[in-house]
Amino acid sequence: MKSFPPIVLVLEDGMIFPGQSVGAPGTVSGEVVFNTAMSGYQEVLTDPSYAGQIVVMTSPMIGNTGINEIDGESSKIQVSGFLTTVMCHQPSHHQCTKTLPDYLVEQGAVAAQGIDTRSLTHHLRKKGVLRGLLTTEMDEPSRLIERASRIPAIESLDLVRQGLSLNETLKRSYTSGLEVVLIDFGAKGSIKKCLEDLGVRVRVVPPDTRAQSILDDRPDGVVLSNGPGDPARLTSIIGEVRGLLGRLPILGICLGHQLLSLAVGAKTYKLPFGHHGVNHPVLDLQTGKVWITSQNHNYAVLEDSLPDGCEPLYRSLYDGSLEGIRFSRSPILSVQFHPEAAPGPTDAFPIFSEFLEMMKR
């Protein structure tokens, strides 16, 4: 039987969770968050919104279908660290090209199996997100705890500008005749794909692109992507988003939704332990329908801070937090959940068609 080197997760509050290393040796740090998805670990690992975070999967066994060539949301692993109870070392799936542990090692990602993810998740639910050090380099517990307490808060990190661009140029047919600019704050590949599947030409631009240069190219609409970190620290980007308001149709997704809200003067706040999973029920306030959505965020927009002309459209049925808004005077639609799913249910795909209709009008 193969043996695995020891690894520990050390939290800033002094809790220590031992496990076995199934990735590369080394030390990583970040904000520890739990994700309740039972599948879709490849999408989670490669979602740039997770930069700066160590992800705990609550599902007890991860890796059963291995890694394939198609499900990556970007070209590399983006999470800071990855924790499971049981890691599958012998996957089975017809599209599988390598095992999850082999992928973690190849990508230099620090990861653990054998972690008591249930008690860790209970702890995070009680205390809220905590900073953690995940390391194969053993030391005195007191020294490790001291190091964990010195990890910079995610709010102080410039994660969006770490160059997470989506620049693959696939040959597609643009049957709708529409062109959108996708501002890449760490965009998941599936957002671009969903738009392209609807026949939209997508031009990806970097996070610091000026509003005027986007407007000069006269696209039919702008999509503000998902991305990592605290939205409120992105002040210059929020200023540029403000410059787009009322000038063309805009769709905001997750971080994009938060930036759009901040641009109109609303406020964001940090949730106690975030929403990370694929079964989050959201109420459509217009129709009374419930959508099951894919979610990954630690911040939310404060509903009470929305200005006039900006109405709540969706609300979380877990904690009542705001999940989407619409503007009465301009074609702007903005959602906190992930209409592109990946991983997760596709209930919210119609958000993209609704945006297309806005652009056509």
Which residues of the chain form contacts with ligand GLN (CB under 6 A)? 49, 226-229, 231, 254-255, 296-299
DSSP letter (8 states) at residue 98: B
- Smaller CB distance to ligand GLN: residue 47 or 347? 47
The least CB distance from residue 313 to ligand GLN, in Å, is 18
Element (H, E) at 29: strand 27-35
Bind-site residues for L-glutamine: 49, 227, 229, 255, 258, 296, 299
Identify whether 340 is a catalytic site residue. Answer: yes
Maximum Cα–Cα distance across the chain = 65
Shortest Å, Cβ 246 to ligand GLN:
24
CB 228 within 8 A of CB 186: yes
Catalytic residue among 73, 254, 257, 323: 254
Which residues pair with residue 295 across a beta bridge? 277
**Complex with ligand GLN: residue 72 or 91, whichever CB lies closer:** 72
| In the complex, least distance from residue 161 CB atom to ligand GLN, rounded to whole angstroms | 13
Q: How far is the CB of 262 from ligand GLN (least distance, A)?
A: 12
- Which residue's CB is nearer to ligand GLN, number 12 or number 31? 31
By the 8 A CB rule, do 50 and 78 touch? yes
Nearer to ligand GLN, 275 or 326 (CB): 275
Q: Which residues contact 195 (CB under 8 A, 6 or more apart)?
A: 180, 182, 202, 223, 352
CB of 141 to ligand GLN, least distance (A): 30
**Cβ proximity to ligand GLN, 111 vs 224, nearer residue:** 224
Adjacent-strand bridge partners of 16: 10
End-to-end CA distance of the chain: 63
Of 12, 43, 240, 340, the active-site residue reads 340
Return d(Cα 155, Cα 294) in angstroms, integer: 23
The residue (of 103 and 273) whose beta carbon lies closer to ligand GLN is 273
Residue 223 Cα to chain centre, angstroms: 16
> CA–CA separation, 301 vs 313, rounded Å?
12
User: Could you tell me how far CA 57 lies from the centroid of its own chain?
Assistant: 14
**CA-based nearest residue to 220, from 356, 353, 333, 325:** 356
> Taking the complex as a whole, how short is the minimal distance between the CB of residue 88 and ligand GLN, in angstroms?
26
Q: 98-129 burial, b for 16+ CB within 10 Å, e for fewer?
A: ebbbbbbbebebbbbbbbebeebbebbeeeeb
Distance from C-alpha of 220 to C-alpha of 201, rounded to nearest angstrom: 10
Q: Which residues are catalytic?
A: 254, 338, 340
